[in-house]
Amino acid sequence: MSLIYKIALTMIQNVGHITAKHLLTRFITPEAIFKATKQALMEVPGVGAITAQHILSKEALKKAREHLKFIEKYQVQVLFYTDDNYPFRLKNCDDAPILLYYRGTADLNHPRIVSIVGTRMATSYGKLLCKQLAEVLAPYGVLVVSGLAYGIDVNAHQESLSHGIPTVGVLAHGLDRMYPQVHGAIAKKMLLNGGLLTEFPPFTNPDKENFPKRNRIIAGISDVTIVVEAASKGGALITADIANSYHRDVYAFPGRATDPYSEGCNFLIKTNRAGLISHAKDIPYFLGWEEPLLKPVPVLEELPEELNPLEIKILKLLKVSDLDIDQLSGQLALPQSQLLLHLLNLEIEGLLVSLPGKRYQRC
């Protein structure tokens, strides 16, 4: 029964996280709030006659009962602000949500939590950095958090899973849906090694105003936020600014001055809002982590189904070492004019990157 009152507290009209915390300070438990008198409620900062009437109307309790059916059916964990299993890092933030909905296996109070964020228009450079981060961080026993959005976010989740790192996606909507829908498959994998977390109750759409709220959870739940690629504006910069306001470490990879998706990273570094990292190995060093805690996990090879046998062979050759186009042409016995078409397709798929001197490298 107490769960109903916890959920209902987040559904009272005109009551946000701050007012909810004032109510808890005065009445101790959510149940006591709904059983208080109007006069007692109005003694709480931020609660006037109209808000008190919303509490007494029991409309929030009715909504909570509807959501409880979904929560019980899908075994959703409800993490309340005063519960022991509520993420302690997030609890230290003034604007922490009063309640979280969670599905997954990862410990949200994991000893080492790293958030990785960036642009939705990830380039081959950004994807390569995500891969390097996963390779370096895997032995340190970390939990990786991101927003399960297009681009850097989903690449961070994918590389984490490939390297055996538990990874949690923070959503801007309820757990009854997935946005974008195309990430449904990876979300299911994350439930087995990581999880999905949100402050939004079931049946909540991914409305525009929800994403900045989502970003504060990404920043607040982790020890450090790493910005891989970011344009001059966007959610990654918002997350970095929030992390700074929480006095958390923020680091960014620099990019060329002419790269539009490195403008944000370069700006963060230039304005001392993020420390500069030139390689993923900088993270354990800057955070003072000692020797790796775990043995490296073999990487799971996952290639798109639409690749043809020749393209798969190209990727296998590049897995051993970088090669230039002459070497690839010779080993494959294929004219360069035909080979270039396959190399271009693989680069578009984000599976390899072209280097100076007509050399190619696996991402």
Class of domain 309-362: mainly alpha
Give the separation between CA 7 and CA 60, rounded to whole angstroms. 8
The answer to whether 260 and 213 are in contact (CB under 8 A) is no
Question: Would you give the distance in Å from CA 75 to the centre of its chain?
Answer: 22
How deeply is 332 buried, as exposed, middle or buried, from its count of CB atoms within 10 A (0-12, 13-18, 19+)?
A: middle
- Is residue 155 classed as helix, strand or coil in its secondary structure? helix
Strands (E), 199-357: 224-227, 249-252, 275-276, 323-324, 352-355
Q: Residue 5 and residue 7: Cα distance in Å, rounded? A: 5
Every domain of the chain with CATH number 1.10.150.20 lies at 1-72
Cα–Cα distance measured from residue 46 to residue 14, given in angstroms and rounded to the nearest whole number: 9
Where does residue 198 rank: exposed (0-12), middle (13-18), buried (19+ CB within 10 A)? buried
The residue written with tokens 């997030």 in the block is 90
Closest C-alpha among 202, 209, 212 to residue 236: 212
- The residues, any chain, with a CB within 8 Å of residue 301's CB and separated by 6 or more, are none
What is 113-287's CATH number?
Answer: 3.40.50.450
Identify the CA nearest to 111 among candidates 88, 79, 94, 134: 88
How many angstroms separate the most distant Cα atoms in the chain? 86
Q: Residue 115: enclosing H or E segment and its boundaries?
A: strand 113-117
Supply 329's token pair. Answer: 């042409």
The amino acid at 57: S
Task: Look up the CATH number of domain 1-72.
Answer: 1.10.150.20
Q: Which pair of tokens denotes residue 90?
A: 């997030």
Tell me if 80 sits within 8 A of 41, measured CB to CB.
Answer: no
- Burial (CB count within 10 angstroms: exposed 0-12, middle 13-18, buried 19+), residue 301: exposed
Sheet strands (E) in 123-173:
143-146, 167-170
pTM: 0.79
Question: Per-residue confidence of the chain (363 residues) as pLDDT tens digits?
Answer: 589 999 999 999 888 889 999 999 999 999 999 999 999 999 999 899 999 999 999 899 999 998 988 998 888 999 999 998 999 999 999 999 999 999 999 999 999 999 999 999 999 999 999 999 999 999 999 999 999 999 999 999 999 999 999 999 999 999 999 999 999 999 999 999 999 999 999 999 999 999 999 999 999 999 999 999 999 989 999 999 999 999 999 999 999 989 999 999 999 999 999 999 999 999 999 999 877 766 555 554 566 666 788 888 888 888 767 788 888 888 888 888 888 888 888 887 778 778 777 888 876
- Distance in angstroms (rounded) separating the CA atoms of residues 193 and 189: 7
Q: List every span in the chain annotated with CATH 3.40.50.450.
A: 113-287
